[in-house]
Protein backbone atom coordinates (compact mmCIF):
# COMPACT_ATOMS: atom_id res chain seq x y z
CA UNK A 1 0.00 0.00 0.00
CA UNK A 2 1.08 3.52 -0.73
CA UNK A 3 1.43 6.03 2.12
CA UNK A 4 1.45 9.79 1.67
CA UNK A 5 3.18 11.76 4.42
CA UNK A 6 3.15 15.53 4.76
CA UNK A 7 5.93 17.67 6.21
CA UNK A 8 6.06 21.37 7.01
CA UNK A 9 9.11 23.60 7.31
CA UNK A 10 8.79 25.64 10.51
CA UNK A 11 10.91 27.57 13.00
CA UNK A 12 12.91 25.10 15.09
CA UNK A 13 11.03 24.25 18.27
CA UNK A 14 13.86 25.46 20.51
CA UNK A 15 13.94 28.98 19.05
CA UNK A 16 12.43 31.74 21.15
CA UNK A 17 10.67 33.73 18.43
CA UNK A 18 10.53 37.52 18.33
CA UNK A 19 7.70 39.62 17.04
CA UNK A 20 8.69 42.18 14.38
CA UNK A 21 8.72 45.81 15.47
CA UNK A 22 6.05 46.74 12.90
CA UNK A 23 3.73 43.99 14.23
CA UNK A 24 3.46 42.43 10.78
CA UNK A 25 4.53 39.01 11.97
CA UNK A 26 7.27 36.99 13.60
CA UNK A 27 10.88 37.66 12.60
CA UNK A 28 12.03 34.63 10.60
CA UNK A 29 15.20 36.15 9.10
CA UNK A 30 18.29 34.12 10.05
CA UNK A 31 16.30 31.86 12.36
CA UNK A 32 16.95 28.11 12.40
CA UNK A 33 14.25 26.21 10.50
CA UNK A 34 13.45 22.51 10.87
CA UNK A 35 10.87 19.89 10.09
CA UNK A 36 7.78 20.35 12.27
CA UNK A 37 8.19 17.84 15.15
CA UNK A 38 4.76 16.27 14.57
CA UNK A 39 5.69 15.75 10.88
CA UNK A 40 8.88 13.91 11.95
CA UNK A 41 6.66 11.53 13.89
CA UNK A 42 4.47 11.09 10.80
CA UNK A 43 7.50 10.22 8.64
CA UNK A 44 8.77 7.79 11.29
CA UNK A 45 5.39 6.01 11.46
CA UNK A 46 5.28 5.61 7.69
CA UNK A 47 8.83 4.21 7.65
CA UNK A 48 7.93 1.73 10.40
CA UNK A 49 4.88 0.59 8.43
CA UNK A 50 7.17 0.00 5.46
CA UNK A 51 9.62 -1.93 7.61
CA UNK A 52 6.71 -4.11 8.80
CA UNK A 53 5.87 -4.84 5.16
CA UNK A 54 2.55 -2.98 5.35
CA UNK A 55 3.57 -0.12 3.09
CA UNK A 56 5.17 -0.55 -0.31
CA UNK A 57 5.91 3.09 -1.10
CA UNK A 58 6.18 6.30 0.92
CA UNK A 59 5.62 9.59 -0.86
CA UNK A 60 6.44 12.68 1.17
CA UNK A 61 4.86 16.01 0.27
CA UNK A 62 5.49 19.55 1.45
CA UNK A 63 3.75 22.76 0.53
CA UNK A 64 5.84 25.86 0.89
CA UNK A 65 8.90 27.77 -0.32
CA UNK A 66 11.78 26.33 -2.37
CA UNK A 67 13.75 25.94 0.86
CA UNK A 68 11.25 23.30 2.04
CA UNK A 69 13.24 20.93 -0.22
CA UNK A 70 15.62 20.63 2.75
CA UNK A 71 12.87 19.14 4.90
CA UNK A 72 11.82 16.84 2.05
CA UNK A 73 15.43 15.62 1.70
CA UNK A 74 15.46 14.96 5.45
CA UNK A 75 12.30 12.85 5.09
CA UNK A 76 13.91 10.98 2.18
CA UNK A 77 16.99 10.34 4.33
CA UNK A 78 14.71 8.92 7.02
CA UNK A 79 13.25 6.41 4.57
CA UNK A 80 10.66 8.01 2.28
CA UNK A 81 10.93 6.87 -1.35
CA UNK A 82 10.18 10.06 -3.26
CA UNK A 83 9.13 13.62 -2.63
CA UNK A 84 6.71 16.18 -4.01
CA UNK A 85 7.03 19.90 -3.34
CA UNK A 86 4.09 22.15 -4.10
CA UNK A 87 5.97 25.39 -4.33
CA UNK A 88 4.32 28.54 -3.06
CA UNK A 89 5.87 31.66 -1.56
CA UNK A 90 2.58 32.81 -0.09
CA UNK A 91 1.65 32.13 3.50
CA UNK A 92 -1.12 29.57 3.05
CA UNK A 93 -3.94 28.87 5.47
CA UNK A 94 -4.88 25.31 6.42
CA UNK A 95 -7.82 25.15 4.02
CA UNK A 96 -5.61 26.09 1.05
CA UNK A 97 -3.03 23.51 2.15
CA UNK A 98 -5.78 20.89 2.49
CA UNK A 99 -7.04 21.69 -1.02
CA UNK A 100 -3.53 21.37 -2.46
CA UNK A 101 -3.09 18.08 -0.61
CA UNK A 102 -6.43 16.88 -1.99
CA UNK A 103 -5.06 17.48 -5.51
CA UNK A 104 -1.91 15.51 -4.65
CA UNK A 105 -4.04 12.71 -3.13
CA UNK A 106 -6.13 12.54 -6.33
CA UNK A 107 -2.92 12.19 -8.33
CA UNK A 108 -1.14 9.70 -6.08
CA UNK A 109 -4.10 7.65 -4.78
CA UNK A 110 -2.52 6.68 -1.42
CA UNK A 111 -4.30 4.27 0.95
CA UNK A 112 -3.09 6.02 4.07
CA UNK A 113 -2.22 9.67 4.62
CA UNK A 114 -0.24 10.62 7.72
CA UNK A 115 0.07 14.23 8.88
CA UNK A 116 1.24 15.88 12.08
CA UNK A 117 -1.62 16.93 14.37
CA UNK A 118 -0.49 20.56 14.30
CA UNK A 119 2.32 22.81 13.11
CA UNK A 120 4.17 24.47 15.96
CA UNK A 121 4.13 27.87 14.23
CA UNK A 122 0.47 28.49 13.39
CA UNK A 123 -0.80 26.04 16.06
CA UNK A 124 -3.95 25.52 13.96
CA UNK A 125 -4.55 21.77 14.22
CA UNK A 126 -6.80 21.81 11.13
CA UNK A 127 -5.19 20.46 7.95
CA UNK A 128 -5.71 16.70 8.46
CA UNK A 129 -9.34 17.16 9.44
CA UNK A 130 -9.97 19.48 6.48
CA UNK A 131 -8.37 16.97 4.11
CA UNK A 132 -10.79 14.43 5.63
CA UNK A 133 -13.75 16.57 4.66
CA UNK A 134 -12.45 17.25 1.13
CA UNK A 135 -11.68 13.58 0.37
CA UNK A 136 -14.55 12.07 2.38
CA UNK A 137 -12.00 9.76 4.05
CA UNK A 138 -12.24 8.82 7.72
CA UNK A 139 -9.85 10.53 10.12
CA UNK A 140 -7.93 9.28 13.14
CA UNK A 141 -6.57 12.43 14.75
CA UNK A 142 -4.07 12.75 17.63
CA UNK A 143 -2.95 9.15 17.12
CA UNK A 144 -0.81 7.42 19.73
CA UNK A 145 -1.03 3.98 18.08
CA UNK A 146 -1.73 2.85 14.51
CA UNK A 147 -2.46 -0.79 13.60
CA UNK A 148 -3.52 -2.20 10.26
CA UNK A 149 -6.31 -4.76 10.51
CA UNK A 150 -7.27 -6.17 7.15
CA UNK A 151 -8.94 -3.44 5.13
CA UNK A 152 -9.21 -1.14 8.15
CA UNK A 153 -6.80 0.86 10.25
CA UNK A 154 -7.23 0.88 14.01
CA UNK A 155 -6.15 4.13 15.61
CA UNK A 156 -5.73 4.80 19.31
CA UNK A 157 -6.31 8.50 19.90
CA UNK A 158 -5.34 10.81 22.72
CA UNK A 159 -8.50 12.49 24.04
CA UNK A 160 -9.10 14.82 26.99
CA UNK A 161 -10.13 12.09 29.42
CA UNK A 162 -7.67 9.41 28.30
CA UNK A 163 -7.54 7.30 25.15
CA UNK A 164 -10.08 6.28 22.52
CA UNK A 165 -9.80 3.65 19.79
CA UNK A 166 -11.53 3.96 16.43
CA UNK A 167 -11.55 1.74 13.35
CA UNK A 168 -11.35 3.51 9.99
CA UNK A 169 -12.05 2.26 6.49
CA UNK A 170 -9.22 2.72 4.02
CA UNK A 171 -8.22 5.06 2.51
CA UNK A 172 -7.87 6.94 5.78
CA UNK A 173 -6.18 9.95 7.32
CA UNK A 174 -4.11 9.82 10.51
CA UNK A 175 -2.67 12.79 12.38
CA UNK A 176 0.15 12.12 14.83
CA UNK A 177 0.42 12.93 18.51
CA UNK A 178 3.75 13.13 20.30
CA UNK A 179 3.50 9.69 21.83
CA UNK A 180 3.01 7.78 18.58
CA UNK A 181 6.73 7.01 18.26
CA UNK A 182 10.28 8.21 18.80
CA UNK A 183 11.64 9.48 15.47
CA UNK A 184 15.05 8.16 14.36
CA UNK A 185 18.01 10.20 13.22
CA UNK A 186 19.14 10.13 9.59
CA UNK A 187 22.54 8.48 9.11
CA UNK A 188 25.16 10.11 6.89
CA UNK A 189 24.99 7.36 4.20
CA UNK A 190 21.21 7.76 4.11
CA UNK A 191 21.55 11.53 3.80
CA UNK A 192 23.86 10.98 0.82
CA UNK A 193 21.47 8.47 -0.76
CA UNK A 194 18.55 10.85 -0.25
CA UNK A 195 20.19 13.33 -2.62
CA UNK A 196 19.59 10.91 -5.48
CA UNK A 197 15.94 10.17 -4.69
CA UNK A 198 13.35 11.83 -6.96
CA UNK A 199 11.86 15.19 -5.94
CA UNK A 200 9.07 16.56 -8.10
CA UNK A 201 8.16 20.25 -7.99
CA UNK A 202 4.58 21.35 -8.68
CA UNK A 203 2.72 24.65 -8.36
CA UNK A 204 -0.79 25.46 -7.10
CA UNK A 205 -1.60 26.66 -10.64
CA UNK A 206 -0.52 23.36 -12.17
CA UNK A 207 -2.75 21.55 -9.69
CA UNK A 208 -5.61 23.93 -10.52
CA UNK A 209 -6.13 24.97 -6.91
CA UNK A 210 -7.10 28.48 -5.81
CA UNK A 211 -5.41 29.37 -2.52
CA UNK A 212 -7.17 32.63 -1.63
CA UNK A 213 -8.16 32.91 2.03
CA UNK A 214 -11.02 34.57 3.89
CA UNK A 215 -8.90 35.16 6.98
CA UNK A 216 -6.24 37.82 7.15
CA UNK A 217 -3.83 38.65 9.93
CA UNK A 218 -4.16 42.29 10.98
CA UNK A 219 -1.29 42.31 13.43
CA UNK A 220 0.99 40.13 15.51
CA UNK A 221 2.02 41.26 18.97
CA UNK A 222 4.17 39.97 21.79
CA UNK A 223 2.07 38.55 24.62
CA UNK A 224 1.77 40.59 27.80
CA UNK A 225 4.94 40.01 29.78
CA UNK A 226 4.65 38.69 33.29
CA UNK A 227 6.29 40.92 35.84
CA UNK A 228 9.28 39.34 37.51
CA UNK A 229 8.47 37.61 40.76
CA UNK A 230 10.44 37.10 43.92
CA UNK A 231 12.32 34.21 45.42
CA UNK A 232 11.20 33.23 48.90
CA UNK A 233 13.56 31.71 51.43
CA UNK A 234 11.33 29.19 53.18
CA UNK A 235 8.14 27.21 52.84
CA UNK A 236 6.64 29.22 55.71
CA UNK A 237 7.30 32.45 53.83
CA UNK A 238 5.77 30.97 50.67
CA UNK A 239 2.59 29.95 52.50
CA UNK A 240 2.38 33.36 54.16
CA UNK A 241 2.70 35.13 50.78
CA UNK A 242 0.13 32.88 49.12
CA UNK A 243 -2.33 33.46 51.95
CA UNK A 244 -1.90 37.16 52.63
CA UNK A 245 -0.33 38.72 49.53
CA UNK A 246 -1.67 36.71 46.59
CA UNK A 247 -4.72 35.47 48.53
CA UNK A 248 -4.96 32.30 46.44
CA UNK A 249 -5.14 29.72 49.21
Partner 1 sequence: MTILVIAEHNNAVLAAATLNTVAAAKAIGGDIHVLVAGSNCAAIGEAGCKIEGVSKVMVADDAAYAHQLPENVAPLIAGLAKEYSHVLAAATTNGKNFLPRVAAQLDVDQISEIIAVESADTFRRPIYAGNAIATVQSSAQIKVITVRATGFDPVNAEGGSASIEQVSGTGDAGVSSFVGEELARSDRPELTAAKVVISGGRGMQNGENFKHLYSLADKLGAAVGASRAAVDAGFVPNDMQVGQTGKIVAPQLYIAVGISGAIQHLAGMKDSKVIVAINKDEEAPIFQVADYGLVGDLFEIVPELERLV
- Write out the binding residues for partner 1, residues 50-69 only, by CB under 8 A: none
Give 32 or 216: the residue with its C-beta nearer to partner 1. Answer: 216
Distance from the first to the final alpha carbon of the chain: 58
The span from the CA of 231 to the CA of 19, in Å, is 29
Q: To which H or E segment does residue 4 belong?
A: strand 2-6
**Beta carbon nearer to partner 1, 32 or 231:** 231
Site string for partner 1, 14-53 (x = CB under 8 A): x-xx-x------x---------------------------
For residue 143, give the nearest of 170, 120, 122, 166 by alpha carbon: 166
Neighbours of 2 (CB within 10 A): 16
Side-chain-side CA neighbours of 225 within 13 Å: the count stands at 4
Q: What pairing do the DSSP bridges indicate for beta strands 2-6 and 112-116?
A: parallel
> Which residue, 87 or 158, is less far from partner 1 as judged by CB?
158
Report the residue number, 73 or 117, with the smaller CB distance to partner 1: 117
Rank residues 58 and 115 by Cβ distance to partner 1 and give the closer one.
115
Nearest to 139 by CA among 178, 93, 173: 173
Residue 222 CB, nearest approach to partner 1 (Å): 6
Least distance between partner 1 and beta carbon 9 (Å): 15
Residue 249 touching partner 1 (CB under 8 A): yes
Cα–Cα distance for residue pair 216/88, rounded to 1 Å: 17
Q: Looking only at residues 146 through 185 of this chain, which bind partner 1 when binding is defined by CB under 8 A?
A: 154, 157-169, 177-179
x/- map, 65-94, partner 1, by CB under 8 A: ----------------------------xx
Amino acid sequence: MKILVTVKRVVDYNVKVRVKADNSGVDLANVKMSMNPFCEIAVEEAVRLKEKGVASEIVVVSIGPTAAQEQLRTALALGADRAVLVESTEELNSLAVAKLLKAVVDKEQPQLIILGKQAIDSDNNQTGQMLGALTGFAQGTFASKVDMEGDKVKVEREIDGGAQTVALNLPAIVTTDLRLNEPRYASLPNIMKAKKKPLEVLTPDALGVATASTVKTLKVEAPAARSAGIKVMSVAELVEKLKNEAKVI
